[in-house]
Chain A
Amino acid sequence: MTRKPALILCLIGSCLVQLIVVASSHAIPAFSRAYKVECSTCHTIYPELNEYGEAFLKNSYVYFGKGQKAAKAKEAAPAPKATAKPAGGAMEVRGEGDADKLSKLKGGALGAAEASSPEPAQEAAAPDAAPGGEAKPEGLLLAAIPELLPISFTASIHATYDHNAVNELDLSTRALKLNAGGNFREKVAFFATYVAYSENTDNILNTNTTSTTPANNSTNINELFVIWRHALDTPINFKVGRMQPKLGLWKSNNKLSTTNSFAPYAYTVGTSEFKLEQPQDALEANAVLANRFFVAAGVVNRKYQNTKEGYGHISYKFGGADYLANEPEVDLAKEESIFDFLTVTVGAYGYYGKNGTPNTTEGGLIQNTYYRSGLDLDILYKLFRLRVAGVLGKDDNAYLSTTPTEVKSYVAAVEGEYTFLQNLIGAMRFEYQDDGRGLVRRYIPTLAYAPLENVKVALEYKHEIASAYKSSVSSSAQDFTNKIGTLGVTFSF
């Protein structure tokens, strides 16, 4: 009986410990968890990438500083020194490149209060220590299995106001996505995006249900690819699976706005569903050359079609950190210069393909041969960022008709961005879209705020003016204006 209160106390204590542990844990996505870094290491405001995030992406999800740079660092690493703490209240500054001590310090095993006990001599860092200096268990290391399950979730909830819609204020748009990504011993990398649920205002046609899953954005694997990183010790990475082909400078979600895609990447022509940001089944080879030059080329396979499609991309970065995240050479002894802060990235790309009725169609194929060629520019200067994207395209049978209609398309976007605070960024975008249906101009201001690094609140407005717009070949041309405001919350964990 006397043991009972002690047992209860133990249980309460255990529960309290659990509560404390849960309260202090950080719900962060896969890469952040794996590398123990904050979101702002790679993002401005999630999911927009900064230049280190871009380097991480180009380095096939291997943390910069690892691989070749790390190997050089290991070669040059000084011999480990034995260190000892003196008796006394304060800790002394000692040690040189001591990864084990770093690991203990981070884990809170060492501290000023423990300074009175002498510290034994330290061993050298484990050769495969994680970026944080903490060694992986050998079994996991040998099996190439990530120590933490590399899965994270991204959810977004939006309130949309559209003065032209029947339901002017719509609170029903939301999405939940699963993301997975990482690498196996820096040899093979992988990435996957699975849309678990999504709902758009445009697709809510059945008013009998409250949660219609739209057909164009259904529960599906959006991206799933593996990368053979630095194949045969060359700088070339081979990427295969469903992916967004490397065309423009920015991946589709690499922007401040959460709902408005860049028109040059998202526009379609005629009845063709092709758009640059569309995930495709592809094989791609890419490489970072001379630290600042990025090249990519790939082949796309379209279902029910024998002919393959091809694409290529080149980009070069002037100034700023290079594609391996090395800082630029800046002479700190000299006066400030515009070139200390200026980063200019230029990219060009081309895509050539065919789509249309499947090979199995009886009575002959109806196909659309098309190309897109584009030029992107990204300028970063202190708190300002300017993005310019332009694409021109040609479709020889955009409406998949027996009497082909050739359509030439010209689409451009300019976006200026200003960082007010580290967690408050504003942007203003102008888009010009001439896709053969008519002329559309859009003005899109966006204000994004991140109260926490993994929570983003975005206020957006789209002012869309269409002139002589024909939604289909047979319809009559119309002028109209859309005014759509969105307030959204996106969070990842």
Chain B
Amino acid sequence: MRKLIILVTLFTLVIAAVADARIRVKGRGDRMNFDPDSIPANYRASFDLMSRKCIKCHTMERTVIAVQTGRAPITGQPFDRQAVKAYGIKMLRKPNSNMNKQEIREVVILLNYLLDENAR
């Protein structure tokens, strides 16, 4: 009986952990993106901004895979908070990225949130 309780508890925990993953991904290939419905309301504006601006040079698939795997798809380097900030600065300075500091800041905060969700 005790074993059964432990098993049921473990199973419930596993299910709960899976169910708690709030950020989902839709589509595949070039159409892959985070599911907008799973983005909290306070991050929705930043998400729209990211989805609109970042696709100028690359697909959202690149961003999703980076968050999903913790590694940048092109370089294979770790994609953590430090890397997110570095990419933000790179994009801020990139000619014709058309992103100002405020916009970069919002996207960096969003990506940090997504990374945190990923680490849960």
Spell out A's residues near B (CB within 8 Å): 36-37, 40-41, 44, 63, 65, 69-70, 73, 76-77, 86, 90-99, 101-102, 105-106, 108, 111-113, 125, 129-134, 320-321, 326-328, 330, 332-336, 340-341, 382-383, 419, 421-422
> Which of A113, A133, A422 contacts B73, CB < 8 Å?
A133
> Which of A93, A131, A419 contacts B114, CB < 8 Å?
A93
> Which of A97, A113, A335 contacts B69, CB < 8 Å?
A97
Question: Given known contacts A73-B78, A112-B28, A131-B75, is B92 in contact with A95 (CB within 8 Å)?
Answer: no
In contact, A382 and B95 (Cβ under 8 angstroms):
yes
Question: Given known contacts A93-B114, A102-B69, is B100 in contact with A327 (CB within 8 Å)?
Answer: no
Q: How far is the CB of A158 from chain B (nearest CB, A)?
A: 27
Which residue of chain A is the closest to B85 with respect to CB atoms? A332
* B64-105 residues at the A interface, CB under 8 angstroms: 64-65, 67-71, 73-80, 85-86, 88-90, 92-93, 95-96, 100-101, 104-105
B8 within 8 A of A: no
> For the complex, what is the distance from the CA of A333 to the CA of B101, rounded to whole Å?
8
Question: Given known contacts A333-B105, A383-B96, is B90 in contact with A327 (CB within 8 Å)?
Answer: yes
Which residue of chain A is the closest to B70 with respect to CB atoms? A97
B44 contacts across to A, CB distance below 8 A: none
In contact, A93 and B76 (Cβ under 8 angstroms):
no
In contact, B74 and A37 (Cβ under 8 angstroms):
yes
In contact, A91 and B25 (Cβ under 8 angstroms):
yes
Q: How far is the CB of B75 from chain A (nearest CB, A)?
A: 5
Which residue of chain A is the closest to B108 with respect to CB atoms? A332
In contact, A327 and B73 (Cβ under 8 angstroms):
no
In contact, B86 and A92 (Cβ under 8 angstroms):
no
26 chain-A/chain-B pairs, Cβ below 8 angstroms: A70-B77, A73-B77, A76-B78, A86-B18, A90-B26, A92-B18, A92-B23, A94-B68, A97-B71, A97-B79, A98-B69, A98-B71, A105-B68, A105-B69, A112-B25, A131-B75, A131-B76, A133-B73, A133-B76, A134-B76, A327-B93, A332-B89, A332-B101, A340-B101, A419-B95, A421-B96
